[in-house]
Chains A and B, each alone.
Chain A
Amino acid sequence: MMNYMPEMTFNVDHGYLEGLLRGFKSGILRQNDYLNLVQCETLEDLKLHLQSTDYGNFLANEPSPLTVSVIDDKLKEKLVVEFQHLRNQCVEPLSTFLDYITYSYMIDNIILLITGILHQRPINELIPKCHPLGSFEQMEAIHIASTPAELYNAVLVDTPIAPYFLDCISEQDLDEMNIEIIRNTLYKAYLEDFHSFCRELGGATAEAMCEALAFEADRRAFIITINSFGTELTKEDRAKLYPRCGDLYPYGLQLLAKADDYDQVRQVADIYGHYKELFEGSGTGPGEKTLEDKFFEQEVNFMKNSFMQQFQFGVFYAYVKLKEQENRNIIWIAECVAQRHRAKIDSYIPIF
């Protein structure tokens, strides 16, 4: 019975955390808050308004003048504290699930560090820029590696993302192109692994998460294709980077692999109703939203829907994603306020 209906016993292990998370979720800023935030004249105003929301006194101990980077750090810190609390309280399989969420940050950190080292930046300058959710012990020693094989053998072999790296070892050296390839290969392996993990969990988690991850995979496939135009990346190599767990797999990915320009990508998207809308609504002109923003909006919608269903892990993933989007929004508004560049202040993506 326990295997057939995981919902029955969900609350025994994870009920508390789900409740806690739903409480956190109700602290996400609403449209009203954003309307107030965009009216701010200075960052101090922003701080004052955030004080009346769930953020409370998170900036109270910062001496003025405030800077955007301080706000960014504090926002991240708040998310990390919440996440760590959840992680510390949880039991299997939720703990593995939460670890999976951190892997994507680890990948981002590794890429950031390699790119930084490639540009001769000292490691001490790079470390603070890494996302704290994805930090790991060996991270700071990453600069001893000069080839992917070394990177794997010396640094990453003990980390949980080592298996994802196996496909990249064959790359000869670390240059910009290869770093991009490594990033996308890692992400591909990660998404596919996470996808299969969620499918194994089954139940409502699989339903919600597979959908979300499929969307993420497809988004990456589209973005990779679009960004590859005009670079040295061959079509075969490109096709190897597509994550194969989305709705596009297999037919759409074959078509994408053959695409030569933006219009052809668009034609592929036309086959899939939900992607067609995104491409249709996007543009680069003034007043239009970029494709990236459209994807973000769609993601926010997905994540919001995830909260409609109970007894599943999708909400944890959704919360982190929504919170990340919220941080992006606040930082966007803060940047606009700080630089007195109010023309585009409204292009944040509202959540609730």
Chain B
Amino acid sequence: MGALFRSEEMNLCQIFLQSEAAYACVSELGELGMVQFKDLNPDVNAFQRKFVSEIMRCEEMERKLRYIHRELKKDGMKIPDRDENPKAPAPKEMIDLEATFEKIESELKEVNTNAEALRRNYLELTELKEVLKKTQIFFAEHGRHGIVDDAQHALAHDEGGGGFVPVTSVQLGFVAGVIPREKVPAFERLLWFANRGNTFLKHDEIDQPLEDPVSGDAISKCVFLIFFQGEQLKARVRKICEGFKATLYPCPESASERVEMLNGVSTRLEDLNTVLHQTEDHRKRVLMSAQKEIRPWIIKVKKIKAIYHTLNMCNFDVSHNSLIAECWTPVSGLEEIQSALKHGTELSGSTVPSILHRMQTKEVPPTYFKTNKFTTVFQEIIDAYGIATYQEVNPAPYAIISFPFLFAVMFGDFGHGFIMFLAGLWMVITEKKLTSGKSDNEIMSMFVGGRYIITMMGLFSVYTGLIYNDCFSKSVNIFGSGWHPSYDFRTLQKETSWTMNPADHFDNTTGPYPFGVDPIWQSSMNKITFTNSLKMKMSVIFGVSQMLLGVLLSFVNHAYFRRPLNVFCEFIPQLVFLMCLFGYLVALVFYKWLFFTAECPQYAPQLLIQFINMFLLTYTPRVMPANFTGDLYACTSIEPTSINATSQTVFFEHQQPIQITLVILALLMVPTMLLVKPFVLRARHNARVKVSMLLKVVVLKIAQHCLSMIKCPP
């Protein structure tokens, strides 16, 4: 609590790093994670900084690692995560790393190009095989003559326009090939347009999807046969095929040649398959060697890059051959930082120690909260609304209770709450396992991140659920209801619903239900009206208390920063405003709960209307009947009409003057909050300007005087 109440006290420090020890020192500081470096050369381009070549080398390494990573993913190889956190390697190890990555990358590339060539070959052969098979089927179905006749018939009819063309005189040629399935319609249409319908296309789908040699994706393709007539058309058809990236395959005319070719292709395919397998195995071996190491490598390279980025923020002192860094550090962590620096210097073998030197500054330090795994979530929620300025009061410690509680006020069901609690508890217990595996599931990781808050919300929901007496939206009768209907059986049979007057049916001997809402309300028809009224009043009380807490915290801030003006012009008016209106409302809620009993249900004030009337300044007083003695506002069972008592009339003595005073007070606070502070600030500013103006005038006068003295001849 102490650490979370205000942000850590910060200090601007200057660190003199010996250039040979700088890398190791920054690495140590980075592991510590308590230092925020300031960029001392913000105007220098990214590519003009001192360590730009190292950063470029890191980026090149990252590129290679990404490539290897992609290849690993492509093969579906799992990258083991052993939760390792290797330290940044020494700068000279960078060369080794580079060499290793270079070797793996070039090996992989070589294997890939080989495999790609092989796969392309394989694809072509498979396609050829399919072409041969399909054409065989085409021709077998129709007979060599059949299909050519069909084509001839179609073409001749189209061309001749009814004229008789002797079938035998037409020599039809054909090409066969393979084309991606989605291109078939456009291909067919273009063939038709371009050749004026003088070609005949037949196509059929290849059953199993083929593999793209480069990406490895599955693609569906079609085998096609185009029949045409004459050399000119052949050239055209070939051009169109080329345009659509269709691959043409030689297809012999006679069936026996086709069968022979098919056999040859099949044997070649088998050979190729074995070669492909061998290449795959080789690739696997190359990848295996990278598989175990890739995660530490990625972390190492990232760390090196981060260190050089940090070093780029430093000033270089040529005369002392050292780097000067400026950074913000928490005062409480100074010793750890010192020892980290010392450790870094030792590691690098430098004899001159790095010096940490505290500086005085007027800059506002950054806000830093030391959080643990429990408080982090709450701090994050608060930060989402705005980060407190340095040393301001932090609302997060209060939110640890108020956030889950207010959630529970809304949720309020102990059955559901318990389930939620169990889910949260499971996440808390298995947190090691859940947080270590960086899951890609965004929603799940969100839940895991908020596991403590979920547990707390569940727990509080059980509590409020018990108060609301809601378990899976049903009530539970634990202590026995305080209501006992005294209707006899015959009366009850007449109607389905009966009003239970508390005076007759409420058992005063046992008292009210000991904890929470009486379960009898579950079976009543006005359950919603009743619970709504209860919950609304509770919400008003909680809401106002929370606002009050906020306002009071602002006082703590004003007191801490010694701003009396803010206390008088912000805090007090805010407090008065809040208390006069909403504090008063809360008081009325309690008054109603305490002083209006079952004896005078008609008198009970309607707070909403009463509150509105307070602003409208409309009051209906009660009437004192002639010979009436006793308290006009006491809750007694006198006839309400005789004293004009309704839910909207005045219900306690001096209500009118008190309320009018409160409203006026509250309204007065509005201009106080709005106007006083700016005018005071303006007056202060003017006073300061006046002094400086006065100074300016005096200086000018003197200058003028001097000038005139010079100008005047003596």
Contact = CB atoms under 8 A, between A and B. Distances in A.
Contact of B193 (A123, A140, A154): A154
A9 interface: no
Interface string A52-76: 1000000011111000000000000
Interface in B562-601: none
Interface residues of B, number: 26
B239 A48 contact: no
Q: Chain A interface residue count: which class?
A: 20 to 34
Contacts of A62: 63
A96 interface: no
B463 to A, nearest CB: 43
A249 to B, nearest CB: 36
A69 B712 CA distance: 74
Interface string B219-263: 000000000000000001001101111000000000000000000
Contacts of A145: 194
A167 to B, nearest CB: 20
B311 to A, nearest CB: 16
B239 A144 contact: yes
A148 B47 CA distance: 52
Given A138-B190, A153-B193, A154-B190, A48 B242 contact: no
Residue with the greatest number of chain B CB neighbours at <10 A, chosen from A123, A140, A144: A144
B47 A143 contact: no
B243 A143 contact: yes
B242 A123 contact: yes
B240 A44 contact: no
Residue with the greatest number of chain B CB neighbours at <10 A, chosen from A45, A137, A150: A137
B183 A36 contact: no
A169 interface: no
A154 B237 CA distance: 12
A137 B183 contact: yes
A48 B194 contact: no
A298 to B, nearest CB: 31
Given A48-B52, A48-B56, A61-B66, A140 B47 contact: no
A322 to B, nearest CB: 24
A44 B45 CA distance: 13
A137 B67 CA distance: 32
A49 interface: yes
Contacts of A41: 47
A239 interface: no
Nearest to B235: A144
Nearest to B59: A60
B46 interface: yes
B627 interface: no
A45 B242 CA distance: 41
B92 interface: no
B186 A138 contact: yes
B60 A64 contact: yes
B60 A40 contact: no
B629 interface: no
A181 B388 CA distance: 68
Residue with the greatest number of chain A CB neighbours at <10 A, chosen from B186, B189, B190: B190
Contact of A61 (B63, B190, B242, B244): B63
Contacts of B240: 141, 144
Given A140-B245, A144-B243, A48 B47 contact: yes
Contact of A39 (B45, B66, B186, B245): B45
Given A39-B48, A44-B56, A158 B243 contact: no
A48 B46 contact: yes
A201 interface: no
B239 A49 contact: no
B190 A155 contact: yes
Interface of B: 45-48, 52, 55-56, 59-60, 62-63, 66-67, 183, 186, 189-190, 193-194, 236, 239-240, 242-245
Closest 5 CB pairs of A and B: A141-B243, A154-B194, A45-B47, A140-B243, A48-B47
20 contacts: A39-B45, A40-B47, A41-B47, A44-B47, A48-B47, A48-B56, A49-B45, A52-B46, A60-B66, A61-B67, A123-B242, A141-B239, A141-B240, A141-B244, A143-B243, A150-B194, A154-B190, A154-B193, A155-B190, A158-B189
